[in-house]
Structure 1
Amino acid sequence: MLLAALCCLPLLEFGAEGLRGWSQVLVYPGAFRAQRHEHDEDTGVLHEYDEDLIGESWEFGPLVLSWDDVAAEAGSPHEGFNVVVHEMAHKLDALDQAMDGTPPLPAAWQRAWARDFQAAYEALCARVDAGEETVIDPYAAEAPEEFFAVTSEYHFSAPAVLAAAMPEVASHLRRFYGESPL
């Protein structure tokens, strides 16, 4: 029941439309290892490595989660972390066939979203690159799609922190997801 409730939280404004294109949730008892392959176009070298994960969202595949982390985060929901919300945000982001940090939005809102999210993302990246402490998890600086997923976590688990740190982003996420239940 806990997992189902957490998965539905980001979908309250979307209903079944938020589930379009996928139908599976895989749950591992704990963190899991995924094999990665990255091809360096410049050198032609293929890099292979393993990565330990607590969650993953495949664009056209399942949602994959670590139960240990789902349960632990449910016990401390005000810390700005929620792997289920994070991965569900990726699913919503992918609804327009592009996991790029911008979910499907009306055109006028998309322009404002892109402007405000880009400015906040670039500011966070600059602070992270300078080695400064950040209120928002520095993982959000990895890529625009991670920025959207991480700020979505804050919207649901620490909305006051997000609103103080990034008021424009918080405003867009309130409009997108609805008010946080916290």
Structure 2
Amino acid sequence: MIEAPLRLAVIIGSTREGRVGDRVAGWFVAQAGLRREVSAAVVDLADYAFPADYPARATPQMSAFTAEVDRADAFVVVTPEYNHSFPASLKQAIDFAYDEWHAKPVGFVSYGCRSVGQHAVEQLRTVFTALHAVTVRDWVGVDLLGHDDLDRRLAEDTPVQAAQVLLDQLCWWGVTLRAGRAARPYVS
């Protein structure tokens, strides 16, 4: 039996004008594209018109985002670090889904100056644990300080190797948890 490719949603967490998250996500999708066992798609939060206030009923945009989360077998969250945390736009979107995150792996590609987004990743691990998701150990961190050429920086051995390790872990957990959810629905 041939296994279906792992459906990987690469979520761009920043909606700021002038962000580099879209470029970092594009690079990561290209890395994932080197693997036959992965089907990666970008989920850009900037493409959604989320409400400023949390409504009593989900809006069509909220429902569309939640459907993307539900369809995915695994996730990579591409996040900047803003003031030692992750963007409010990302937290808002994460909170629109709940059951859809359960028993699925989440990996991180972060960027920032000096800390390479480590603080954002550590806080996101806590959030996703509360949502019954499994965060993988390794992550990709990109230091933007002193690097005028992002594309050249991303082509270096360190980020490319880190991306491959992250994809290895996501594939293992993604396939394992997909089979587990199919065999026995997750109970929270």
Question: Fold-level match, TM-score > 0.5?
Answer: no
- More helix as a share of residues: 1
Give the number of the structure with larger relative contact order, counting CA–CA contacts within 8 Å between residues 6 or more apart.
2
